[in-house]
């Protein structure tokens, strides 16, 4: 009888095992299936353009020219490092990018954290305050550039000069903020932080709201001050989010193009201190009609950004981050 019961149990468990196997098999294919639209978009909009740029970088290509593309090998890569004029311009553009990133990344990350902590407080009218902080992000960038061009305008017609002139008795009312090499990049940095800090703030705010309140209650029972709670509870709880914010801010900083391009349409921006690699690529490819050289610059710049992202990620992992 025992043998019969054992056989019945074994027989009854076989369909269950088949269902579990089929379920596990379905789960294995579910992940790639759900990720396939994103992977397809990544391949179309990132991998394919990079491969095309890599191919074009080995050819001399001119737009609207009857001449066919001519294979030149690594000549256009070599020109970036051997041609004095081109290497100097490319090096200056890289320096401008690094200057922008070194200032924007820490300032914008800290400012996003401060704003997130501020708007996370339950105070009357905080919803309206959040709306005003988020508003610059929804403005079209062209409109943002027009607003800040009016703010930075030279002479008394500029809002910034008018305010400075009011408090300085007219001594500081005629500065050309975008035309002066000493202040041109700083002016673009201020505009960029104002326009995009709310995006990072929302990410940090979501992380703040996910920190368990029990941790703050336990810290309060231990008589920890608000500052101690911030350092020992809040910061460790959102550490990975802060690393992520710093990483994407770095990538966005090296992609600086729109702000410089739109402000430079007025013709008053100092090109030497504000030209970035992205603007130089556009000028080389379309204004100078040298698509192959622009493609070579794109490939090198892409590799530089990739190396920086890998270094940031490795440093974060060594410190216990993501």
pLDDT digits (tens, 9 = 90+) for 48-88: 888 888 998 898 887 777 778 888 889 999 998 888 888 89
Q: Distance from first CA to last CA of the chain, Å, rounded?
A: 58
Which pLDDT belongs to residue 9? Answer: 46
Radius of gyration of the chain (CA): 27
Residue 173: what pLDDT? 66
Helix (H), strand (E), coil (C) string for 136-160: HHHCCHHHHHHHHHHHCCCHHHCHH
**Collapsing DSSP states into helix, strand and coil, what is residue 22?**
helix
The list of the chain residues with pLDDT below 50 reads 1-2, 5-6, 9-10, 16
- At 98 the pLDDT is 93
Whole-angstrom Cα distance, residue 185 to residue 272? 10
Number of CB atoms found within 10 A of residue 77's CB? 17
Helices (H), the chain: 2-42, 48-56, 75-82, 84-119, 126-138, 141-151, 159-168, 184-209, 213-221, 226-229, 235-237, 239-254, 258-264, 271-274, 277-282, 291-318
**Rounded to whole angstroms, how far apart are CA atoms 278 and 109?**
23
Biggest CA-to-CA distance, the chain: 107
Task: Give the per-residue pLDDT at 312.
Answer: 81
């Amino acid at each position: 009888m025992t043998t019969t019961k054992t056989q019945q149990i074994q027989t009854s468990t076989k369909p269950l095992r088949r269902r579990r196997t089929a379920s596990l098999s379905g789960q294995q294919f579910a992940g790639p299936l759900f990720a396939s639209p994103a992977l397809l978009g990544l391949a179309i909009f990132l991998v394919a353009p990079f491969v095309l740029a890599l191919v074009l970088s080995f050819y001399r290509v001119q737009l609207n020219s009857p001449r066919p593309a001519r294979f030149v090998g690594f000549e256009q890569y070599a020109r970036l490092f051997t041609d004095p004029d081109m290497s100097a311009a490319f090096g200056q553009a890289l320096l401008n990018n690094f200057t922008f990133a070194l200032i924007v990344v820490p300032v914008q990350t800290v400012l996003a954290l401060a704003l997130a902590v501020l708007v996370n407080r339950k105070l009357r009218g905080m919803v309206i305050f959040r709306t005003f902080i988020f508003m610059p992000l929804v403005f079209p960038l062209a409109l943002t550039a027009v607003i800040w061009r009016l703010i930075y305008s030279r002479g008394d017609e500029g809002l910034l000069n008018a305010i400075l002139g009011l408090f300085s008795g007219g001594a500081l009312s005629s500065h050309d903020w975008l035309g002066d090499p000493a202040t041109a990049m700083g002016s673009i940095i201020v505009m960029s932080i104002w326009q995009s800090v709310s995006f990072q703030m929302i990410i940090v705010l979501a992380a703040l709201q996910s920190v368990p309140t029990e941790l703050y209650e336990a810290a309060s029972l231990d008589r920890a001050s608000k500052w101690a709670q911030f350092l020992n509870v809040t910061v460790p709880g959102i550490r990975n989010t802060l690393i992520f914010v710093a990483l994407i801010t770095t990538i966005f900083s090296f992609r600086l193009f729109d702000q410089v391009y739109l402000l430079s349409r007025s013709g008053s921006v100092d090109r030497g201190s504000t030209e970035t690699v992205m603007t130089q690529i556009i000028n080389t490819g379309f204004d100078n009609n040298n698509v192959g050289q622009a493609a070579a610059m794109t490939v090198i710049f892409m590799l530089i950004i990739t190396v920086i992202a890998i270094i940031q990620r490795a440093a974060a992992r060594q410190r216990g981050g993501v």
